């Protein structure tokens, strides 16, 4: 079934890619950290002024934390995000020569970086897929499609969901898989009002709601 899901969604979204706007690895890292519990659209409204004020990783490492908080306030959880972004910038400058590390183990050492963020950076910045990005869309839709166990989907266990998905998704599809589900979740499989009647996966989705039959047709 996974091959069908991927094939159908690739046909629906042939240019599936990250929706965040950025230039370079560090801006990508910052944008992904800001996207936690926030829409990509909101992040893209915040980052132009943010990156204009702090164009280099060194600028973030030396920035005034209160100014940074004000610039990212609308993305939510701004205090924690500001603290992590500056701390990550400091570590990158002091331990990695000012360059975002390209190894998973090193990325995971950065403040504010967990598996999801590291997977996004690894694939988008360095073209290396060492796992599958698991966000709310991926958790929900992979559960609805029966790709992962209902129990894991219900408790939103991202680590175990990633492991299960990595076992069934072909390795050469790991990098783009999440983008397909994310775009499908935004366009059709909307959490509160799924459009099952318009869904390209309707015929193979075990959770699809029956399309109502109009009298006289």
Q: Which residues are catalytic?
A: 116, 135
Structure tokens at 169: 């998704």
* Dihedral angle of Cα 126, 128, 132, 133, to the nearest 10 degrees: 0
Count, residues in the chain: 217
**CB distance 201 to 166 below 8 Å:** no
192, with CB counted inside 10 A (0-12, 13-18, 19+), is exposed
Q: What is the DSSP letter of 198?
A: G
- The alpha carbons of the chain give a radius of gyration, in whole angstroms, of 19
Distance between CA atoms of 162 and 132, rounded to whole angstroms? 6
């Amino acid at each position: 079934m996974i091959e069908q899901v991927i094939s159908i969604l690739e046909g629906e979204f042939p240019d599936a890619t990250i929706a965040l706007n950025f230039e370079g690895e560090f801006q990508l890292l910052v944008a992904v950290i800001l996207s936690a519990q926030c829409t990509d659209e909101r992040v893209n409204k915040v980052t132009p002024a943010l990156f204009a004020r702090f164009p280099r990783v060194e600028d973030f490492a030396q920035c005034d934390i209160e100014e940074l908080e004000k610039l990212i306030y609308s993305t939510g959880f701004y205090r924690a995000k500001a603290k992590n972004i500056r701390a990550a910038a400091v570590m990158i400058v002091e331990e990695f020569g000012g360059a975002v590390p390209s190894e998973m183990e090193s990325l995971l050492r950065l403040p504010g970086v967990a598996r999801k963020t590291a997977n996004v950076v690894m694939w988008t910045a360095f073209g290396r897929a060492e796992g599958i990005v698991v966000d709310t869309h991926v958790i929900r839709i992979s559960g609805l499609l029966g790709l992962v166990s209902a129990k894991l989907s219900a408790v939103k266990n991202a680590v175990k969901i990633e492991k299960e998905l990595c076992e069934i998704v072909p390795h050469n599809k790991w990098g783009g898989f999440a983008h397909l589900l994310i775009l499908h979740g935004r366009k059709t499989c909307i959490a509160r009002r799924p459009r099952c009647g318009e869904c390209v996966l309707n015929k193979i989705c075990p959770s699809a709601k029956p399309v109502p039959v109009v009298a006289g047709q």
